[in-house]
Amino acid sequence: MDDVPAILRPIQACSRTPSWLRRVILNVHMYGGLLCFGFLILFGISVLNFNHPFAFTKSPVSVTTWTMPMSDPKRADGLDVLESLPIRRENNLAILHAMGSFAVPFTSFDGQWIDADTYHAHFVRPGKMYDVDVSGGTATITQTRGSVWSLIRELHDYAGTSYPESVIASSWRWHTEVGTLFVFAAIMSGVYLWIVGRRQRRIGLLVLVAAGAVSIALMILVTVGE
């Protein structure tokens, strides 16, 4: 008890748990962590790639254009941007249905008549991007397929996106939520096991406090500074 820093003593006092409970926590820590292996690797790589967008990670793999018959989208003549939003949403959904794609509009304001006869929409999802021009009963679709690097980045970027047209694609969002909670649980249970153990307690606490202080200081400075 003497070598325990004062700040940790109350926690250690609370942590006099029976060995069976400790074993349960260790198992949750280990197997929960193993279940998060793919999540951690993918998000770790994407974080590094966001900061280091090397040229070879940015180029698209292919750009393909094709045409298909499609009924003309509804018009929104005389309506302003907000008033025409429900009509544009309906148009976008009809185009996606016709394409058989589970992509989503890039923003909720996407989709517009770019001239008297042509409706243009832009759809995205991890790995692919579509530009669609519908005119005279025909849609011209340009699909840009990204590399595996852009797929990894976009799986991170669009982690919070729901895809109403695909339960499988939407499961990525649930996976991200569960993965986040599991990683937190793995780390917190690891901190608990570290506290009830004896090694590296002091230096670990020092690193935790220092890293936390630097992190919070940076957040504040970047927000208020220039």
Residues 75-104 that bind another protein (CB under 8 A): 99-102
- Contact between 102 and 166 under an 8 Å Cβ cutoff? The reply is yes
Interaction between residue 125 and another protein (CB under 8 A): yes
Interaction between residue 129 and another protein (CB under 8 A): yes
Comparing CB distances to another protein, the nearer of 134 and 152 is: 152
Interaction between residue 223 and another protein (CB under 8 A): yes
Interaction between residue 6 and another protein (CB under 8 A): no
Q: Tell which one of 57, 194, 195, 196 touches another protein (CB under 8 A).
A: 194
Interaction between residue 149 and another protein (CB under 8 A): no
Q: Tell which one of 98, 149, 175, 195 touches another protein (CB under 8 A).
A: 175
User: What burial class does residue 6 get, using C-beta atoms within 10 Å of its C-beta: 0-12 exposed, 13-18 middle, 19+ buried?
Assistant: exposed
Comparing CB distances to another protein, the nearer of 139 and 155 is: 155
The 3-class secondary structure across the chain, one letter per residue, is: CCCCCHHHHHHHHHCCCCHHHHHHHHHHHHHHHHHCHHHHHHHHHHHHHHHCCCHHHCCCCEEEEEEEECCCCCCCCCCCCCCCHHHHHHHHHHHHHHHCCCCEECCCCCCEECCCCCEEEEEEECCEEEEEEEECCEEEEEEEECCHHHHHHHHHHCCCCCCCCCHHHHHHHHHHHHHHHHHHHHHHHHHHHHHHCCCCHHHHHHHHHHHHHHHHHHHHHHHHCC
Residues 37-56 that bind another protein (CB under 8 A): 37-48, 50-53
Q: Tell which one of 104, 139, 159, 192 touches another protein (CB under 8 A).
A: 159
Count residues near another protein (CB under 8 A). 73
Least CB distance to another protein at residue 185 (A): 12
Interaction between residue 180 and another protein (CB under 8 A): yes
Comparing CB distances to another protein, the nearer of 74 and 200 is: 200
Comparing CB distances to another protein, the nearer of 103 and 134 is: 103
Q: Token pair for residue 26?
A: 């260790």
Stretch that binds another protein, among 6-14, 17-25, 80-88, 211-219 (CB under 8 A): 211-219
Task: Look at the alpha carbons of 192, 193, 194, 199 in this order and tell me if their dihedral is positive or negative.
Answer: positive
Comparing CB distances to another protein, the nearer of 78 and 160 is: 160
Interaction between residue 69 and another protein (CB under 8 A): no
